[in-house]
Structure 1
Amino acid sequence: MSANGNAALSWLEERPTLPAGVTWGVPWKQGELDRNEPLKLRGSNGESVPVQSWPMAYWPDGSVKWTAHAASFQADLEDGYTLEKGHGVPSTAGLTVKEAADYIEVDTGAIVCRLGRSGTSVIREILIGGSAVCSDGKLVGMREEHHATSGKKTIVEETLQGVIEKTTVEQNGPIRAVVKVQGRHQAPGGGRKWLPFTVRFVFHAEQASIRIVHTFLYDGNPHQDFLKGLGIRFSVPMEGPLFNRHVRIAGDTGWFGESPKGLMTFRLPERQRELYERQTAGASISLDEEQDAGLQALLDDSPEWGDFKLVQSSSDSYTILKRTKEGCSWIRPASGRRSGGLLYAGGEGGGLAVGARRFWEKCPSALEAAGLAGDEAVLTAWFWSPDAPAMDLRHYDTETHVLSCYEGADELRSTPYGVGNTSELTLWCCVSTPNHDTLDAMVREKESPPLLVCEPARYHETRALGLWSLPDRSTPVKSQIEDTLERLIGFYQDEIEQRRWYGFWDYGDVMHSYDPVRHTWRYDIGGCAWQNTELAPNIWLWYMFLRSGRADIFRLAEAMTRHTSEVDVYHIGEYAGLGSRHNVLHWGCGCKEARIGMAGLHKFYYYLTADERIGDIMDEVKDADYATLRLDPMRAYFAKDEFPTHTRSGPDWAAFCSNWLVQWERYEDTSYRDKMLRGLACLKQMPHRLLTGPVFGYEPKTGELFFMSHENYGHHLMICMGGAQVWAEMADLLQDPEWDAMLTEYGEFYNLPKEEKIRRTNGALQGKDWNIPMLSTAKMAFAANRLNDGELAKQAWDFLLRSPYNWSVDIPLETQEVPRQEYVREIREIPWISTNTVSQWSINAIVCLALIGEYLPESIEPRVSV
């Protein structure tokens, strides 16, 4: 981090090769940046670059904590940039947003896009130089209803289209503009409106591309409303003879390129071959009336291939298909494994390229171009391909299995009603058919959108995302820990591929517990299948990115954030504000809790990218504590008596605090700060402060916690779901000496012998349910740091590095080969692996290195199992 506060920026991945609009976030130390101070962007060549800046969060003293920035880059991009205080050069690009009665018009200087305010056309049209390259962009879907009559199943299909209810300008230049369109889907001709959607269109000045972020929520009956298809459709004018119209479809490494009227016929004379080669390269050709008369006759007789599609049916298989017209069979020109997920279609007047991000990872997906032989082609990006079986969102059983499968509640509350899914697209408006190099660059840059990032040292020194350590290999033991942290990340990266943790509803999550006998994860054992943020793997991954700056870890954490913030939590309905505990299905567990979707899990991504959708989600959970009135998290243990509801100081109240902290820092809304302070005041009055409980009576209206009893639930759950990190951040922000002392007391008390716990509390605390010492090591480190207690610090390292309780990791970390016939393909495994263990060990190790690194032992002894 620069001594003068300037932020050095570099590209997360390779420098973009196409013109690019880029949005990113930068942290600041408390007191470093006044909200009225201007900022400027300078390239490594010293020249200023126009930049649009806005605040995202504030420190308690009113100074700026996070800023967001947008810039539009054309040619000659630099390898690095510097953000510094001062007035920069103004933008001359001329991005403008105009609001009319029935549409909103965004002019980037390269394209003009008109977005609808009502009806079904979310995109009215896109123009280049006054000519349309796209019109009538609409959301489409297919619903499949199953009926059982006389023992026979019949299927009824119904088409759907998105109906606009509200269009809002969220950001209005001068470099970046965002328009949000909201509505619901409906069958043509009327009927039920359902499947709420939010689609954001992101524009940058001088860019001919548009980023689209599409979110839908499921609000149907899973036993009746089977989604057969879901996507977005665009109409593209087709100009010129059929042989000058082109389609390009991304394959595994190269491109499928054809025309509705190819020049290949049963014979290929030299003159025809030359034209054919030019046509295949995407050039416009012309036929000589005399010289090519024979060819013209052959073309008049040749078939017209009007429809093309790419279907990614699984993470390992796609097919490219084409046909002449509706009512005729599809034929298969090519197939492969993993498509790049981009389709271009256009004629002599240009065309449209549509790129779907995470195309094969979020299978089944498809890209389709129909009607290329007519005046207007229709391009469809299918987030869920209608060529695949319909979504089946029903539970995997008709009952719950608490004892045998570690499912969380006797009530079967498995419902997808209210969960969401977000997909991303990029549109490029093209004046001609792109060449292969340009198409390759489109795939790279829609798949890994260009992002400027700071050095790890800046993220670390500003403390804007909490307390963690930078990598340190100054001693052999520190090197061993760093090696293990890296190998754990590498193991999960390999495991995602080995186990094919892909799919529309699954991509981004990992699994919970391993079965070394079947050599697979316990995918069918209720509470041991999908992780669903259990023990905060999100924080683990983001810490690993922040301390390394590695792009591969960023993309891993990004995918988990996008999934867990959408699929694992409820956005509408009875459980809005809560999420589902780990299960075979992401929404399958009867335990619906606030900690699963707490804002602190997602704010890393928001502040690094300024992603508006994540901002929405963090706002959604600000009042999640009220959801406990509808569903008491302790209903299985305590009757609803004199208290409105119950809450645990952790993970419930800690999750509420996480949500409130984000509201306070983003909007300076002191009502949420005060609600947090009210809870703190209650804890201070408890018989043994934070050691009390952890279950309390709770009043969401005021934030009051009420004493019930001592040791009434497991204390390890207070700190292992992200609570330890939330509370440490509160200590930093609130600067409350008593809160600091309470955290210190907790960390020092947790692993005391039972006899000492009894003595210190005059028998009030008997040492019941203070479990799994490793989970407490970050809090022990906090206490050891505050007390300057070397013995406590050494004990914390013992629990992390020599734990006999099997809640630690093997150092060195080794995988072993699975016998060939014992699994469906060759794999390697770690038989003891548990994502709970890995997440918490990594988080605690990273924090302990920051707080008590000087107390590390000289060597790491082998772990002893008990």
Structure 2
Amino acid sequence: MGEGQHVKLGWLGEPPAGTVSSTWGIPWAAGTLQREEQLALLGPDGVSVPVQSWSAAYWPDGSVKWTAHAAVLPASSAGDYKITKGTPSSVDQPIFVTETENGIEVDTGVIICRLNRSGNSLIREIVRGGSRICSDGRLVAIREAASVISGQKTVREETFHSVILTAKVEQRGPLRTVIKMTGRHEIHGGGRQWLPFTLRLYFFAGQASIRVMHTFLYDGNPQQDFIKGLGISFGVPMRGPLYNRHVRLAGDTGWFSESPKGLMTMRLSDRVAEYYRRQMNGEIIEFDDQEDEAFLKLLNDSAVWNGFKQVQLSADSYTITKRTQEGCSWIRSAVGRRARGLLYAGGEGGGLAVGVRSFWQKSPTALEVDDTATDEARMTAWFWSPDAGAMDLRHYDTQTHVASAYEGADELRSTPYGVGNTSECVIWCCGSTPGASELDAMTELKESPPLLICEPEHYHASRTLGVWSLPDRSTPLKAQLEDTLGSIIAFYQEEIEQRGWYGFWDYGDVMHSYDPVRHTWRYDIGGCAWQNTELAPNIWLWYSFLRTGREDIFRLAEAMARHTSETDVYHIGEYAGLGSRHNVLHWGCGCKEARIGMAGLHKFYFYLTTDERIGDIMDEVKDSDFTTLNLDPMRAYYPKDEFPTHTRSGPDWSAFCSNWLLQWERYEDTAYRDKMLRGIECLKQMPYRLLTGPVFGYDPKTGILEHMGHENYGHHLIICMGGAQVWTEMAMLLNDPEWSGMLAEFGEFYNLSPEEKSRRTAGAINGKDWNIPMLSTAMMGYSAAHSGDVQLARQAWDILLNDRSHWHIGTALQSEPVPIAEYVRPVREIPWISTNTASQWSINLIVCLELIGRHLPAALEARNDK
């Protein structure tokens, strides 16, 4: 179970300053933890802390593979937490949930939140200390429709509000409760419904905050249905005189602090100046009717500011404005670069704060509060700001450009119908106006949710997430390779910033290929633009985190997991369960394939954080092989024949296996295990086992693969889209020596000469399209470790480190400045870079260091490849 029979836990990044809630996952080696065994949490002082635990996955032998945990952790000195077997301590004041026919009530001990089961309003009200803090929490969307008649353009906006279809208690626990609500957006006044949504609300015992996870799916016509605004809105009671009401907006570093009725007038006595300073601090002001009579007359004459908003139109610019009333102009109050994304509004007796995560990264966003001078203000967190242009989800052209732009198919299947986007925010129910330090803490908590993580050694020893290595600097060459891996991560972190890879639909992805002439990535060249999980950068980033525990890498991988699982994959419609290949638009490529959204790309984030939305997505793809009945992945190469559809052993069937593995280990659903085993048995019966194909006839109903010949498609695609990682994990789980032998055979065979391939297979396999040797080095390492073939291990290292005739990195990356006049602003570049190379070279190196690291040469060898 670990050193001292416990699992050590530490904070991702710096320890939080105060009491916080956290949910995290812990892996367990096979046979270590039985499902009936309880777990206790010990604090840094060794005292037991209440913890809520549940099983998230199981090993084939029935033991627990992953556990999930939730706790409310008090402020403490530096030190590690520990999970150990034993009875958890009891919760003094657990969450109390009451369900009725019409609603759900959640009592955390500090706030009471009443939710509806039907209607437009999701949150009926939130009460703290007997006072209502919030009411009528609902989703809002704005549709823009434009028409041109006789050369005159008319734009019409339609407002939609949420309509609840379901509301259920998804998790009911003493420390953590999750409410899941689904529905659609309905036009104001009734009528059309569209934009399906899922909203999750997370409650923790003793906490006055609620984490909100908002997901919407696009189900419109991109030629007609333009989303102008999308957000969540709350009613906030405003109590007391106007000068005792407060608005706070987070800037780059400090706070915009104002009131509907500020105390600044053309005359400001020392006495009033003191009032003014106290007002700015959020204190309640009490005037003396006699002593302050003259000032109160001035105050009555001063303007009343009824509305405030902060609009982040791009990743590098925001504006704060305010106005007196509708029909009057918005007055610019402040400008800045990157707002921290938090708004508070309230009066005497408290108010509501809402913080949007990745506020500037996912621009255009906005925070707005109106009617602050009335009894009830309206606060809205805009995930897409109505002050920006409407979303334009149309394709960038009316045709495809397969030959010139590496687009995947002649068919124009560019459609956003069925893609999604998830936004996160936190709301705080405040008993009084928070001070600057308290508000700062809120922004930090919503932006970097506290997460407990294990040490890299524990993740590694558990063998729960495939084959990867821990950092090793024991020799000069190993140290150099670790530096190179670090430099690749650093380069992409810098590129995200200097190239501005931000925005509502783009944040979390990186680009595919570089253009050294224009000194930019090939953003406008079809299949060379956004990466869309091509060659498994998700796995690269997660391996990099697991082996280092670095917070910056975790956040990089987290953003990619969130984006690629939502926007690159279809959740409803004819392509449900498939994703779109890389393109100028994330949904732009005509190739819709299972490997883009395979569950194995996202399981890292799910198991580390227990994120329920990612769990939904992994469940959505479990039957993605059936979608290929209507959209054969090989339709451009093989016309309709006697087979229901076609599949490649990789990346298609390997992606299906990834999806099935997650169903098997999460739910112990043996039907998905058996479907995977059926495919393996089919491959065993092929003339040359895994060397056969890679294209097969396929029937999703039975899972049977049918022989269609040899070398009928490129073999590098079998392994470079995550297939190698899926297959080796299957070998670890299935305990099937023949399957392991088939993988070893593949790794040893891949780089044989064409003559030797032909000799071994009696002329059936002649070495056609066994491309890009570097992509096969992890499989070579697997084969060498399996058979003890030292010569093969050395060949793998030679290909990975020395052979410059193909995709190669080798040494630490060094960017160079672009001549100042040749790009729009100063940037640095690596002219030859591609994300395909960076991702796969890093993955193969990390795996080979684990499997055949002992055979790594003492130094790089000099080669002069043509």
TM over 0.5: yes
Residue 595 (structure 1) aligned with residue 605 (structure 2): no
Equivalent pair of 2:519/2:822 in contact (CA under 8 Å): yes
1:211-222 equivalences in 2 (<5 Å): 211-222=211-222
Q: CA deviation at 1:146?
A: 1.9
Equivalent pair of 1:19/1:207 in contact (CA under 8 Å): no
| Mapped partners of 2:174, 2:501: distance in 1 | 41
Task: Tell me the residue number matched to 1:576.
Answer: 576
Q: How many residues are treated as equivalent by the alignment?
A: 866
Task: Tell me the residue number matched to 2:684.
Answer: 684
Structure 1 residues 652 and 104 mapped into 2: Cα distance closer, same or farther (>3 Å)?
A: same
Residue 640 (structure 1) aligned with residue 644 (structure 2): no
Equivalent pair of 2:215/2:423 in contact (CA under 8 Å): yes
1:213-252 equivalences in 2 (<5 Å): 213-252=213-252
Q: CA deviation at 1:16?
A: 1.5
| Mapped partners of 1:202, 1:716: distance in 2 | 44
SS of the residue corresponding to residue 216 of structure 2 reads: strand
| Mapped partners of 2:13, 2:714: distance in 1 | 43
Residue 117 (structure 1) aligned with residue 117 (structure 2): yes
Deviations 1:249-296 (A, max 9, x none): 000000000010011000111100010011011111100011111111
Task: Tell me the residue number matched to 1:444.
Answer: 444
Q: CA deviation at 1:14?
A: 1.5
1:382-393 equivalences in 2 (<5 Å): 382-393=382-393
| Mapped partners of 2:594, 2:99: distance in 1 | 39
The residue type equivalent to 1:362 in the other structure is: K
Q: CA deviation at 1:863?
A: 6.7
| Mapped partners of 1:745, 1:858: distance in 2 | 28
Task: Tell me the residue number matched to 1:16.
Answer: 16
Task: Tell me the residue number matched to 2:849.
Answer: 849
| Mapped partners of 2:221, 2:174: distance in 1 | 44
Task: Tell me the residue number matched to 1:185.
Answer: 185
Task: Tell me the residue number matched to 1:586.
Answer: 586
Equivalent pair of 2:246/2:259 in contact (CA under 8 Å): yes
The residue type equivalent to 2:696 in the other structure is: F
Unaligned 5+ segments in structure 1 are none
% of aligned pairs identical? 69
Structure 1 residues 93 and 158 mapped into 2: Cα distance closer, same or farther (>3 Å)?
A: same
| Mapped partners of 1:141, 1:350: distance in 2 | 28
| Mapped partners of 2:805, 2:712: distance in 1 | 23
Q: CA deviation at 1:78?
A: 5.4
With normalisation by structure 1, the TM-score equals 0.99
Q: CA deviation at 1:593?
A: 0.1
Task: Tell me the residue number matched to 1:198.
Answer: 198
Q: CA deviation at 1:21?
A: 1.3
Q: CA deviation at 1:136?
A: 0.2
1:585-664 equivalences in 2 (<5 Å): 585-664=585-664
| Mapped partners of 1:711, 1:369: distance in 2 | 63
Equivalent pair of 2:231/2:382 in contact (CA under 8 Å): yes
Q: CA deviation at 1:703?
A: 0.4
Equivalent pair of 2:802/2:810 in contact (CA under 8 Å): no
Task: Tell me the residue number matched to 1:376.
Answer: 376
Deviations 1:540-597 (A, max 9, x none): 0000000000000000000000000000000000000000000000000000000000
Q: CA deviation at 1:5?
A: 4.2
Task: Tell me the residue number matched to 1:667.
Answer: 667
The residue type equivalent to 1:12 in the other structure is: L
Equivalent pair of 1:801/1:863 in contact (CA under 8 Å): no
| Mapped partners of 2:381, 2:441: distance in 1 | 19
Residue 823 (structure 1) aligned with residue 846 (structure 2): no
Q: CA deviation at 1:349?
A: 1.2
Equivalent pair of 1:7/1:84 in contact (CA under 8 Å): yes
The residue type equivalent to 1:159 in the other structure is: T
Task: Tell me the residue number matched to 1:173.
Answer: 173
SS of the residue corresponding to residue 157 of structure 1 reads: strand
Q: Which segment is superposed worse, 184-193 or 159-168? A: 184-193
Structure 1 residues 853 and 384 mapped into 2: Cα distance closer, same or farther (>3 Å)?
A: same
| Mapped partners of 1:710, 1:262: distance in 2 | 79
The CA RMSD over aligned residues, in Å, is 0.9
Structure 1 residues 427 and 864 mapped into 2: Cα distance closer, same or farther (>3 Å)?
A: farther
Equivalent pair of 2:44/2:76 in contact (CA under 8 Å): no
Q: Which segment is superposed worse, 797-806 or 692-701? A: 797-806
Q: CA deviation at 1:861?
A: 4.0
SS of the residue corresponding to residue 628 of structure 2 reads: helix
| Mapped partners of 1:503, 1:775: distance in 2 | 32
| Mapped partners of 2:778, 2:849: distance in 1 | 9
| Mapped partners of 1:148, 1:753: distance in 2 | 64
Q: Which segment is superposed worse, 296-305 or 71-80? A: 71-80
| Mapped partners of 1:614, 1:232: distance in 2 | 21
Structure 1 residues 728 and 239 mapped into 2: Cα distance closer, same or farther (>3 Å)?
A: same
Equivalent pair of 2:481/2:810 in contact (CA under 8 Å): no
| Mapped partners of 2:652, 2:200: distance in 1 | 32
| Mapped partners of 1:148, 1:9: distance in 2 | 61
| Mapped partners of 2:95, 2:143: distance in 1 | 39
Task: Tell me the residue number matched to 1:799.
Answer: 799
The residue type equivalent to 2:198 in the other structure is: T
Deviations 1:683-737 (A, max 9, x none): 0000000000000000000100000010000000000000000000000000100
Task: Tell me the residue number matched to 1:267.
Answer: 267
The residue type equivalent to 1:335 in the other structure is: V
Deviations 1:331-362 (A, max 9, x none): 01100000000000000010001000000000
The residue type equivalent to 2:555 in the other structure is: R
SS of the residue corresponding to residue 755 of structure 1 reads: helix
SS of the residue corresponding to residue 630 of structure 1 reads: coil
The residue type equivalent to 2:360 in the other structure is: W
Task: Tell me the residue number matched to 2:559.
Answer: 559
SS of the residue corresponding to residue 673 of structure 1 reads: helix
Q: Which segment is superposed worse, 93-102 or 213-222? A: 93-102
| Mapped partners of 2:153, 2:706: distance in 1 | 54
The residue type equivalent to 1:707 in the other structure is: H
| Mapped partners of 2:339, 2:784: distance in 1 | 52
SS of the residue corresponding to residue 726 of structure 1 reads: helix
Q: Runs of at least 4 residues of structure 1 off by over 3 A?
A: 74-79, 861-866
| Mapped partners of 2:234, 2:361: distance in 1 | 23
| Mapped partners of 1:862, 1:424: distance in 2 | 51
| Mapped partners of 1:371, 1:581: distance in 2 | 46
Q: CA deviation at 1:521?
A: 0.2
Q: CA deviation at 1:77?
A: 6.2
Task: Tell me the residue number matched to 2:301.
Answer: 301
| Mapped partners of 2:537, 2:609: distance in 1 | 20
The residue type equivalent to 2:170 in the other structure is: E
SS of the residue corresponding to residue 720 of structure 2 reads: coil
Task: Tell me the residue number matched to 1:101.
Answer: 101
Task: Tell me the residue number matched to 1:763.
Answer: 763
Deviations 1:167-205 (A, max 9, x none): 010011110000001000010122221100000000000
Q: CA deviation at 1:865?
A: 5.8
Equivalent pair of 1:695/1:708 in contact (CA under 8 Å): yes
Equivalent pair of 2:158/2:188 in contact (CA under 8 Å): no
Residue 353 (structure 1) aligned with residue 353 (structure 2): yes
Residue 322 (structure 1) aligned with residue 322 (structure 2): yes
| Mapped partners of 1:301, 1:864: distance in 2 | 84
The residue type equivalent to 2:327 in the other structure is: G
Deviations 1:779-833 (A, max 9, x none): 0000000111111011111111112323011413211111011111111111110
| Mapped partners of 2:2, 2:31: distance in 1 | 16
| Mapped partners of 1:525, 1:596: distance in 2 | 19
Task: Tell me the residue number matched to 2:336.
Answer: 336
SS of the residue corresponding to residue 836 of structure 1 reads: helix
Equivalent pair of 1:114/1:123 in contact (CA under 8 Å): yes
Equivalent pair of 1:11/1:79 in contact (CA under 8 Å): no
| Mapped partners of 1:704, 1:421: distance in 2 | 35
Task: Tell me the residue number matched to 1:518.
Answer: 518
Task: Tell me the residue number matched to 2:504.
Answer: 504
Q: CA deviation at 1:19?
A: 2.6
Deviations 1:498-525 (A, max 9, x none): 1000000000000000001110000000
| Mapped partners of 2:615, 2:526: distance in 1 | 31
Q: Which segment is superposed worse, 650-659 or 84-93? A: 84-93
| Mapped partners of 1:641, 1:77: distance in 2 | 68
| Mapped partners of 2:429, 2:306: distance in 1 | 21
The residue type equivalent to 1:331 in the other structure is: I
Equivalent pair of 2:527/2:582 in contact (CA under 8 Å): yes
Task: Tell me the residue number matched to 1:728.
Answer: 728
| Mapped partners of 1:806, 1:510: distance in 2 | 22
Residue 156 (structure 1) aligned with residue 156 (structure 2): yes
With normalisation by structure 2, the TM-score equals 0.99
